[in-house]
């Protein structure tokens, strides 16, 4: 049996793994021991074997011969596929300019390669998935600390009190984080959960607040009010680090615990007890600012106030709180050489308006739904080609029908993917990516208390006619005569380029996929720390937001209400993850499908009784012309205003025989959803939608 140290690719977390192979088969996948995971992976990580052996995925390059979405393809060689895509791109760029090409990916540690490709053709329009995930948290972090969301690290291991607000850590898994929190809890760390339903995480919490959906900003304002009114905050830290503390204290005065009790449906007395507990544990308090926060039009402010609460408790920068993230240079180590630096940054304006029309957003990965606006309107200029790399916007962004209409304006839609997805099925060309077990990736850097470089190696040869991402992008660059990127012929050449000047060699990655850049965690001295905001302080009133005419502390407003007037009862749609699936792309995985073939609709017992729905009954969930039938999960522990479902189900592709037709697709219940977004944080607001539920006949 052979062991390859590599990096999991079943979700975005990218845990270090050990892949055991024998006779060209994967025998087992375990969490990397040198990587600190002691053998543990999550169920999805273990089910990578299912992905590898599944024939229900694109096996060769495919070029569409029927209408978009019709599923008629001709198989092509890679040479043909490259030349087809290359010719199309050349023609489009000749007519509309390089900037008419858009690419989106799934973010994470590897986009340097994709950015390099976009620069190689001279387009500024690189986007990632984050408009439907964590952009609100990221922008909230920037507005308070001047650092992005990854500029601070969750030091769960050393925390004394962890607060998870809209964060289901034991089911929306990051294996390292789960292990850290478990060991902290064994050492007495308290856990508080704020959610609209009971989760596995809530079941392990010392405090659980079941709140009304969409009222978290109100909850947080009341926490700030209570911390200040009862002198439970760290006055010394605040005087050193805060700008405009007095404005905050004045602003939160009306938002008392009694006020929040009504707005959020909570007990006012518990809020004071909770705040006293926080003060007791400070500064080793970690109030998680959220991860998937593309939920409400004010989610940005939920995350923003979460950062301010951490600040009031002195936990921003503290051990056991949100400690400052280190990069290579904090370890006196030269960083990786960026592939993007092979080319100058294109100086064209971005199609999504980020960085010139919307100056308060981070130009890095832009905002995909606004780039779609450019495809739709040809403003500020036409966007005619779209490459989706490891990204399924038709399922990840709301309203697939509206998106397909927008895509009619494209002359070329390409999907690069290791499995079928709605977007791949709707594409003109599908370029099959080797699974993560069959491909190498560029070396990546992961910041943290102990930053590291890591390398994905292929554990075995590709089973089908697929290529690694570096092979695809260097191939396309060669086809387009796009300079240096196309000159790399092997992954070793790329790795050596990235490692130049670091003193490290490829061999250093042999004993584990990761090379740690420091032995011990590095904590910054917060007495001398300057925040990266214009004022150098934690900004209650953000200069950047003020310049964009956006309120740093807007008055609380309830989330959007149902505007239908037909008298039918409607529920707010709420979604989330489960431990067994990753978004929508594992639902057809033979192993994971067997364990969880469909989703259910969670509904409160009292409401269900009124509607004659019993646990396990089939119910029909509908909104704006979409409806699907699945089982009801009748429960006491969900807020009455909403129904909940696991995201990613309701597949309709004939090539996915297992997932086909099972469960409800939450994203299809969000008609008009591309137009509903958080103007301060940038992300789409996917829970501002309402559905009807009735017993299925
Ligand atoms: N197993 C698994 N793990 C994953 C993923 C996966 O697909 N599968 N995906 C990864 C990714 S991309 C992400 S972004 C993270 C997401 O990680 P999380 O954001 O933690 O995951 P979710 O389940 O989307 O949402 C967390 C909780 O928010 C609650 N919630 C919904 N509305 C409200 C509200 O108004 N107020 C409050 N307080 N709570 C609310 C939901 O009930 C849910 O339990 O998970 C990552 N890890
Ligand atoms: N309605 C609704 N919409 C949502 C969410 C929701 O809960 N409800 N969740 C939101 C969140 S948090 C996020 S992050 C986005 C995610 O949205 P996406 O990023 O689109 O979701 P994924 O399923 O992670 O993956 C990407 C696609 O890439 C393909 N793929 C190709 N290669 C790889 C690989 O090496 N690894 C992996 N893992 N996939 C590969 C997968 O097969 C899949 O089709 O969706 C968001 N949209
Ligand atoms: S959390 Fe699970 S699926 Fe995600 S990278 Fe880690 S082991 Fe893989
Ligand atoms: Mo996400």
Angle between helices 400-407 and 368-377 (to 10 degrees): 50
CA of 573 from ligand 1 middle (Å) equals: 14
Instruction: Give the single-character DSSP code of 180.
Output: H
User: In this predicted structure, what is the pLDDT of residue 555?
Assistant: 98
CA of 107 from ligand 4 middle (Å) equals: 10
Question: For ligand 2, atom 24, which residue shows the shortest CA distance?
Answer: 583
User: In this predicted structure, what is the pLDDT of residue 323?
Assistant: 98
Angle between helices 216-229 and 299-312 (to 10 degrees): 20
Domain-located, residue 207: yes
The contacts of residue 128 (CB under 8 Å, 6+ apart) are 104, 105, 106, 107, 111, 365, 366, 368, 391
pLDDT per residue as tens digits for the range 136-194: 999 999 999 999 999 999 999 999 999 999 999 999 999 999 999 999 999 999 999 99
Give the number of the ligand closest to the Cα of residue 577.
Answer: 1
How far apart CA 421 and CA 584 sit, in angstroms, is 8
Q: What is each CA distance from 18 to 1, 33, 45, 422, 458, in whole angstroms?
A: 12, 8, 11, 31, 11
pLDDT per residue as tens digits for the range 603-643: 999 999 999 999 999 999 999 999 999 999 999 999 999 99
Domain CATH code at residue 155? 3.40.228.10
Residue 501 and residue 584 share a domain: no
Residue 456 and residue 394 share a domain: yes
Ligand 3 binding pocket, CB closer than 6 Å:
8, 10-11, 13-15, 41-42, 44-45, 173-175
Q: For 6-17, give the secondary structure using H, E and C.
A: EECCCCCCCCEE
Question: For ligand 2, atom 30, which residue shows the shortest CA distance?
Answer: 390
Confidence tier at 16 by pLDDT (50, 70, 90):
very high
Instruction: Provide the 10 A C-beta neighbour count for residue 291.
Output: 18
Residue 292 and residue 163 share a domain: yes
Confidence tier at 346 by pLDDT (50, 70, 90):
very high
Residue 184 and residue 126 share a domain: no
How far apart CA 513 and CA 520 sit, in angstroms, is 19
Question: For ligand 3, atom 4, which residue shows the shortest CA distance?
Answer: 11
Indicate whether this model's pTM tops 0.95.
yes
**Has residue 481 got a pLDDT over 90?**
yes
pLDDT per residue as tens digits for the range 407-427: 999 999 999 999 999 999 999
Taking alpha carbons only, the member of 57, 52, 61 closest to residue 6 is: 52
Instruction: Give the single-character DSSP code of 32.
Output: -
How far apart CA 571 and CA 693 sit, in angstroms, is 8
Q: For 534-590, give the secondary structure using H, E and C.
A: CCCCEECCCHHHHHCCCCCCCCCCCCCCCCCCCCCCCEEEEEECCCCCCCCCCCCCH
**Has residue 672 got a pLDDT over 90?**
yes
Distance of CA 296 to the CA centre of its chain: 15
Residue 249 and residue 175 share a domain: yes
133 lines ligand 1 (CB under 6 A): yes
Give the number of the ligand closest to the Cα of residue 302.
Answer: 1
Residue 106 and residue 76 share a domain: yes
User: In this predicted structure, what is the pLDDT of residue 560?
Assistant: 87
User: In this predicted structure, what is the pLDDT of residue 108?
Assistant: 86
Q: What is each CA distance from 490 to 71, 343, 494, 569, in whole angstroms?
A: 34, 20, 7, 60
In DSSP notation, 41-104 reads: --HHHHTHHHHHH-SSS--S-EEE-SSTTS--EEE--HHHHHHHHHHHHHHHHHHH-GGGEEEE
pLDDT per residue as tens digits for the range 432-459: 999 999 999 999 999 999 999 999 999 9
Domain-located, residue 50: no
| CA angle, residues 260, 265, 270, in degrees to nearest 5 | 70
Q: What proportion of the chain, given as a percentage, has pLDDT over 90?
A: 97
User: Which whole number is the average pLDDT over 28-44?
Assistant: 93
How far apart CA 11 and CA 34 sit, in angstroms, is 20
582 lines ligand 1 (CB under 6 A): yes
| Least confident span in 106-110, 497-501, 552-556 | 106-110
Confidence tier at 532 by pLDDT (50, 70, 90):
very high
Ligand 1 pocket mutation, candidates 288, 294, 576, criterion most atoms within 8 A of CB: 576
Taking alpha carbons only, the member of 164, 467, 176 closest to residue 292 is: 164
**β partners of residue 445:** 453
User: In this predicted structure, what is the pLDDT of residue 141?
Assistant: 98
Residue 535 and residue 472 share a domain: no
Residue with tokens 């070793």: 492
**Has residue 109 got a pLDDT over 90?**
no
Confidence tier at 64 by pLDDT (50, 70, 90):
very high
Confidence tier at 310 by pLDDT (50, 70, 90):
very high
Q: Which two tokens stand for residue 303?
A: 């995350």
User: Which whole number is the average pLDDT over 663-688?
Assistant: 97
Residue 624 and residue 531 share a domain: no
| Contact assessment for residue 365 and residue 83, using Cβ atoms and an 8 Å cutoff | no
Give the number of the ligand closest to the Cα of residue 172.
Answer: 1
Q: What is each CA distance from 167 to 267, 274, 285, 302, in whole angstroms?
A: 21, 18, 16, 12
Domain CATH code at residue 681? 2.40.40.20
Q: What proportion of the chain, given as a percentage, has pLDDT over 70?
A: 100
292 lines ligand 1 (CB under 6 A): yes
**Has residue 330 got a pLDDT over 90?**
yes
| CA angle, residues 71, 75, 76, in degrees to nearest 5 | 135
Residue 300 and residue 207 share a domain: yes
The contacts of residue 366 (CB under 8 Å, 6+ apart) are 125, 126, 127, 128, 350, 352, 354, 355
How far apart CA 147 and CA 327 sit, in angstroms, is 13
CA of 104 from ligand 2 middle (Å) equals: 12
366 lines ligand 1 (CB under 6 A): no
Ligand 3 pocket mutation, candidates 18, 31, 42, criterion most atoms within 8 A of CB: 42
User: In this predicted structure, what is the pLDDT of residue 512?
Assistant: 87
User: In this predicted structure, what is the pLDDT of residue 511?
Assistant: 85
Looking at ligand 3, which atom is closest to the CA of residue 44?
A: 3
**β partners of residue 618:** 631
Question: For ligand 1, atom 6, which residue shows the shortest CA distance?
Answer: 582
Domain-located, residue 561: no
Average pLDDT, the chain: 97
CA of 582 from ligand 1 middle (Å) equals: 11
213 lines ligand 1 (CB under 6 A): yes
Domain-located, residue 348: yes
195 lines ligand 1 (CB under 6 A): yes
User: Which whole number is the average pLDDT over 108-115?
Assistant: 94
Looking at ligand 1, which atom is closest to the CA of residue 133?
A: 14
Domain-located, residue 90: yes
Pairing of strands 126-128, 101-105: parallel
Q: Is omega for the bond preceding 380 within 30 degrees of 0, making it cis?
A: yes
Looking at ligand 2, which atom is closest to the CA of residue 670?
A: 1
**β partners of residue 414:** 387, 429
- Strands in 16-22's sheet, in edge-to-edge order, are 2-7, 16-22, 25-31
Ligand 1 pocket mutation, candidates 162, 166, 643, criterion most atoms within 8 A of CB: 166
pLDDT per residue as tens digits for the range 205-240: 999 999 999 999 999 999 999 999 999 999 999 999
Domain-located, residue 20: no
Q: How many residues does the chain have?
A: 697
Domain CATH code at residue 94? 3.40.50.740
Domain-located, residue 256: yes
Ligand 2 binding pocket, CB closer than 6 Å:
9-11, 106, 129, 132-133, 292, 390-392, 396, 417-419, 421, 433, 436, 575, 582-585, 647, 666-667, 686
Residue 315 and residue 201 share a domain: yes
Ligand 3 pocket mutation, candidates 29, 44, 174, 580, criterion most atoms within 8 A of CB: 44
How far apart CA 554 and CA 140 sit, in angstroms, is 14
- Number of structural domains, the chain? 3
Give the number of the ligand closest to the Cα of residue 582.
Answer: 1
Helices (H), 230-298: 235-241, 245-251, 257-264, 268-281
Residue 395 and residue 317 share a domain: no
Residue 469 and residue 604 share a domain: no
User: Which whole number is the average pLDDT over 677-687?
Assistant: 97
User: In this predicted structure, what is the pLDDT of residue 272?
Assistant: 97
How far apart CA 631 and CA 633 sit, in angstroms, is 7
| Contact assessment for residue 107 and residue 12, using Cβ atoms and an 8 Å cutoff | yes
Question: For ligand 2, atom 17, which residue shows the shortest CA distance?
Answer: 396
> What residue numbers bound the domain in which 657 lies?
571-695
User: In this predicted structure, what is the pLDDT of residue 426?
Assistant: 98
């Amino acid at each position: 049996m052979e062991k390859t140290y590599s990096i999991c690719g079943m979700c975005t977390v990218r845990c270090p793994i050990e892949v055991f192979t024998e006779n060209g088969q994967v025998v087992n996948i375990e969490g990397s021991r040198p990587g600190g995971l002691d053998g543990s992976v999550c169920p999805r990580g273990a089910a990578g074997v299912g992905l590898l052996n599944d024939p229900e995925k694109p096996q060769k390059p495919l070029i569409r011969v029927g209408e978009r979405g019709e599923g008629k393809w001709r198989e092509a060689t890679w040479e043909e596929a490259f030349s087809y895509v290359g010719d199309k791109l050349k023609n489009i760029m000749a007519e509309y300019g390089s900037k008419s090409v858009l690419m989106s990916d799934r973010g994470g540690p590897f986009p340097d390669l994709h950015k390099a490709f976009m620069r190689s053709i001279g387009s500024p329009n690189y986007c990632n998935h984050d408009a439907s995930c964590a952009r609100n948290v990221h922008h909230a972090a920037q507005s308070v600390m001047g650092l992005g969301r990854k500029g601070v690290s969750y030091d769960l291991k050393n925390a004394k009190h962890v607060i998870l607000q809209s964060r289901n850590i034991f089911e929306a898994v990051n294996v390292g984080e789960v292990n850290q929190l478990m060991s902290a809890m064994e050492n007495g760390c308290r856990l508080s959960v704020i959610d609209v339903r009971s989760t596995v995480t809530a079941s392990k919490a010392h405090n659980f607040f079941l709140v009304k959906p969409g009222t978290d900003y109100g909850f947080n304002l009341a926490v700030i009010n209570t911390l200040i009114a009862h002198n439970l905050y760290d006055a010394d830290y605040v005087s050193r680090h805060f700008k405009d503390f007095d404005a905050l204290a004045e602003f939160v005065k009306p938002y008392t615990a009694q006020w929040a009790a009504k707005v959020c449906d909570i007990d006012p007395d518990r809020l004071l007890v909770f705040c006293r507990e926080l003060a007791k544990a400070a500064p080793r308090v970690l109030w998680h600012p959220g991860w998937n926060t593309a939920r409400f039009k004010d989610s940005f402010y939920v995350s923003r106030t979460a950062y301010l609460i951490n600040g009031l408790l002195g936990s921003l920068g503290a051990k056991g709180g949100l400690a400052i993230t280190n990069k290579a240079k904090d370890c006196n180590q030269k960083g990786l050489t960026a592939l993007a630096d092979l080319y100058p940054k294109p100086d064209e304006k971005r199609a999504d308006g980020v960085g010139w029309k919307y100056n308060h957003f981070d130009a890095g990965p832009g905002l995909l739904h606004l780039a779609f606006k450019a495809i739709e309107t040809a403003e500020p200029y036409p966007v005619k080609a779209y490459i989706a790399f490891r990204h399924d916007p038709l399922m990840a962004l709301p309203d697939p029908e509206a998106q397909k209409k927008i895509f009619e304006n494209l002359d070329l839609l390409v999907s690069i993917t290791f499995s079928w997805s709605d977007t791949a099925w709707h594409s003109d060309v599908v370029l099959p990516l080797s699974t993560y077990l069959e491909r190498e990736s560029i070396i990546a850097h992961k910041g943290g208390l102990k930053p590291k470089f890591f390398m994905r190696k292929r554990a075995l040869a590709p089973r089908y006619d697929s290529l690694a991402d570096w092979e695809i992008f260097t191939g396309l660059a060669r086809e387009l005569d796009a300079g240096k990127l196309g000159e790399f012929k092997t992954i070793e050449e790329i790795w050596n380029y990235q490692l130049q000047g670091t003193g490290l060699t490829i061999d250093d990655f042999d004993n584990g996929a990761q090379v740690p850049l420091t032995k011990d965690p590095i904590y910054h001295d917060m007495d001398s720390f300057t925040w990266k905001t214009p004022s150098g302080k934690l900004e209650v009133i953000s200069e950047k937001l003020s310049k964009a005419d956006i309120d740093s502390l807007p008055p609380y407003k309830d989330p959007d209400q149902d505007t239908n007037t037909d008298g039918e009862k409607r529920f707010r749609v709420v979604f989330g993850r489960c431990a067994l699936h990753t978004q929508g792309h594992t639902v057809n995985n033979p192993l994971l499908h067997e364990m969880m073939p469909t989703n259910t609709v969670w509904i409160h017992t009292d409401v269900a009784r009124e509607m004659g729905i019993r646990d396990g009954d089939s119910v029909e969930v509908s909104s704006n012309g979409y409806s699907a039938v699945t089982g009801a999960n009748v429960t006491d522990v969900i807020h009455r205003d909403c129904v909940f479902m696991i995201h990613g189900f309701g597949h309709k592709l004939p090539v996915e025989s297992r997932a086909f037709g099972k469960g409800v697709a939450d994203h299809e219940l969000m008609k008009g959803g591309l137009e509903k977004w958080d103007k301060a944080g940038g992300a789409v607001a996917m829970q501002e939608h309402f559905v009807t539920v009735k017993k299925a006949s």
